[in-house]
Structure 1
């Protein structure tokens, strides 16, 4: 679906350290610095289809598929990538090494932002130059007790909701109908119909819910950080956004009004300007 953008994105499979199964990402641009987008759970690279093209004139732009999402193949190595945030954190380390650039600006949404947050906590932050956290899934409204129910949910049963009607009832896919065409929605749904992928996603969701609050240590993030939130996000309490802004020394917060869990979908033009201004401020001259 990203091949229809201007400039068109090319589909890239590249070797990973995880047995024989490669990473998959979409790429365009030829800048001296790289912007890496990471989507949320039960999504894939096309989640950023409205946000990536404006950056391609200045940056190399990579939109990665998380394990089991989109066209990713790395999830087929379960001993190396378990369906946990910790497992995906190791995956992100390997992904950044495979990308190979010395200056990376990481832009994450929901689960992708959670991974970016924990990567930025480490002392060896290279190659990261800046961090953008869009609705980071660090503290969910979902009760921790729900983790057991999610883990026991059979993927064939979950598959019953993977259709045009069912998916519109879910976050983070609760997007305005005008933002996604029927063809785009069908493309979005396709990976969710794969039993092995969906099973991986469900076990990953259980791990996310079970942890409770993953936002500890925010004061140790030294990177310039842009926090983006929607004031009507029913997955994430807005109080967390303000707490992170206070805790992260170089953080700035932008809250979109009348906006849900996906600001890049609800307000794409404003979102793109906000992100472009932030990246321009922290890119190498």
Structure 2
């Protein structure tokens, strides 16, 4: 990790580079480190911003996708971000979609990878079993095609989270909220260019989910990565970055096309 985690007004976040804003949203068991490859690959050309979502700190009565969207709204306002390219993995994609439905003027481009919102298997079909390290190790490994990607550090982090009763209660509440918030009927509202990057071997949001997002979003482009599961940016960071870079180049921000025009 060669970036600084900043703290401001109650937010913990990464803010690296300058230029067009890439706002990255992690998943239910995600962390800032999930996006290491994207940070390193894009911070020289873009401003990469990643808020740490308060998934485990939210009071149970507020633990929901609506609560997370409200958090993103506050964060975007605090940092005065505009013209967003919004990237979301898993639950982060779901939150990003709901945010875009509410604030279509704020989002210029969208990238979804293994996003929930249509169908997902929570933790590989079951939910956190407290106190069993082997069980947590198995479930974390289930999210990757190559189990070796599930490092001891990552397993330890998830084990610590699921060992806390309040954190487990928040996770369950947010997962149930995600299941209630099916976005199929609203995806027609997404009119911005949308990149879909899916693991061909995704066990959480299977390949057919990627196809369904592609069918329901008008201006979408779908790519699969072979021998890849639920977090392409972690399992195949070079391939993910290549797809993202090519797509960003082919879909420049509308504001850029206006920047050189003379106003008379």
Length-normalised TM-score, structure 2: 0.83
Q: Secondary structure at the match of 2:246?
A: helix
Q: What is the aligned length?
A: 251
- CA shift, 1:247, in A, is 2.4
Report the counterpart of residue 249 of structure 1 in structure 2: 218
Q: Over aligned residues, Cα RMSD in angstroms?
A: 2.7
Q: 1: distance between equivalents of 2:163 and 2:5? A: 21
Residues 172 and 243 from structure 1, CA distance in 2 versus in 1: closer, same or farther, beyond 3 angstroms?
A: farther
CA-to-aligned-CA distance 1:194-217 (integer Å, 9 cap, x gap): 4433321122122223x2733222
Report the counterpart of residue 96 of structure 1 in structure 2: 76
Q: Secondary structure at the match of 1:158?
A: coil
Q: Does 1:113 align with 2:93?
A: yes
Q: 2: distance between equivalents of 1:187 and 1:262? A: 17
- The 8 Å contact of residues 118 and 182 in structure 2, kept in 1 or not, is answered as yes
Report the counterpart of residue 66 of structure 1 in structure 2: 53
Picking from 13, 18, 27, the partner of 2:15 is 27
Report the counterpart of residue 10 of structure 1 in structure 2: 4
Residues 171 and 121 from structure 1, CA distance in 2 versus in 1: closer, same or farther, beyond 3 angstroms?
A: farther
- The 8 Å contact of residues 200 and 207 in structure 2, kept in 1 or not, is answered as yes
Structure 1: which 5+ residue stretches go unaligned? Answer: 16-21, 151-156
Q: Does 1:87 align with 2:58?
A: no
CA-to-aligned-CA distance 1:163-211 (integer Å, 9 cap, x gap): 3x333322586333443543454356544444433321122122223x2
CA-to-aligned-CA distance 1:124-157 (integer Å, 9 cap, x gap): 32322210011111122549xx9xx96xxxxxx8
- The 8 Å contact of residues 168 and 174 in structure 1, kept in 2 or not, is answered as no
- CA shift, 1:260, in A, is 1.4
Structure 2: which 5+ residue stretches go unaligned? Answer: 257-264
- Residues 1-285 of structure 1: pairs in structure 2 closer than 5 A: 4=1, 8-15=2-9, 22-29=10-17, 31-69=18-56, 75=58, 82-122=62-102, 124-142=103-121, 158-161=129-132, 163=133, 165-170=134-139, 174-175=143-144, 176-183=146-153, 185-187=155-157, 189-209=159-179, 211=180, 213-284=182-253, 285=256
